[in-house]
Structure 1
Amino acid sequence: MATDTAGPEAAGLEVMYRGTVYPWHCDQMGHMNVMWYVGKFDEATWQLFAGFGVTPDYLRDSGRGMVAVDQRISYRKELCAGDVVLVRSTLLEVRSKVIRFCHQMENASTGDVAAVTVLTGVHIDTKERRSCPLPEEHMARARALVTDFDPGI
């Protein structure tokens, strides 16, 4: 569990995704299946990245990419068909080639935290298939977004 008691907004987490759990997202037990948590987190990732300049246009035009090298998920509360969810996100660490970030998925009606994930992404040259530094302007914008939020995982 996150240790911040002032709430996600005060901790610097911003809403990067809002959506609904549909019946086809649910497994035989009636809860949202783990693949959909990852999918919704992924949608939030691209919104977060766009906030510091890592957009689809930038990636295509510069021959760059982002790859996930580590993802940890803590499932905390079940979500069911009809639940409205939001994902709040923040950057935890920015290095030359590496970004570590967090998403917190919440039930929008209850405020309950359904899941938390921490990911490590690496910036790559897609032709060379090797890591490479982020442009300085992207790093500066990303570093300005880093918070000290403790995701608890």
Structure 2
Amino acid sequence: MQTTTKIVVTPDDIDQLGHVNYLKYILFLEKGVGEWYKQAGVNFKELRKQDLGTVVLKFDVSYHKEARLGDTLNVTTTLMNVGNKSFTVKQEIYNQDDILITESTKTFVMFNTATRKGVPVIQEIARHLKCAR
């Protein structure tokens, strides 16, 4: 499953160099993964009741082009891999001209918040890898 999240660059996103600050891209990517979770049917309120959540194990990001004030960005999020206790998403940010400006991969671990240990990836997430193939 792939989702696309639209973001319009605002003055608050711009740094002293006149382009989007690198930290803002991380927030844009988080919005994208949040939308992916939502569309996948992952309900974090319900997960918390079961002492479950996800934590980032690895985060890799590459910045290719700058985004500027007023740009319309599309953040695509795709589930790429599901292991026993972890899963990986690939994210790309394209500008309004469909030019790739940023890409990242994030590896998450399914986590029991009571025991503080990894647990098997829940079906609400794992089933979407089968849909992508």
Indicate whether the TM-score tops 0.5: yes
1:7-22 alignment, distance < 5 Å = 13-15=2-4, 17-22=5-10
In structure 1, the residue matched to 2:61 is 73
* Distance of 2:116 and 2:131 partners within structure 1: 27
- Say what the alpha-carbon RMSD is for the aligned residues: 1.7
Residue 13 of structure 1 and its aligned partner are, at CA, apart by 4.1
Residue 63 of structure 1 and its aligned partner are, at CA, apart by 1.2
Q: Is the partner of 2:77 in helix, strand or coil?
A: strand
Instruction: Check whether the contact 1:94–1:142 (CA below 8 A) recurs between aligned residues.
Output: no
| Among 118, 128, 137, the residue aligned to 2:105 | 118
In structure 2, the residue matched to 1:6 is none
More helix, by proportion: 2
More strand, by proportion: 2
Identity of aligned residues (%): 25
Determine if the alignment matches structure 1 residue 133 to structure 2 residue 120. Answer: yes
1:32-43 alignment, distance < 5 Å = 32-43=20-31
Q: Is the partner of 1:51 in helix, strand or coil?
A: helix
Residue 51 of structure 1 and its aligned partner are, at CA, apart by 3.3
Instruction: Check whether the contact 1:46–1:55 (CA below 8 A) recurs between aligned residues.
Output: no
Moved over 3 A (4+): none
Q: Is the partner of 1:100 in helix, strand or coil?
A: strand
Determine if the alignment matches structure 1 residue 104 to structure 2 residue 92. Answer: yes
Note the alpha carbon deviations across 1:9-53, whole angstroms, 9 max, x for none: xxx7431x1111111111110010011100010011122123333
* Distance of 2:129 and 2:41 partners within structure 1: 12
Q: Which ranges in structure 2 are unaligned for 5 or more consecutive residues?
A: none
Instruction: Check whether the contact 1:90–1:145 (CA below 8 A) recurs between aligned residues.
Output: no
TM-score, reference length from structure 1: 0.79
TM-score, reference length from structure 2: 0.90
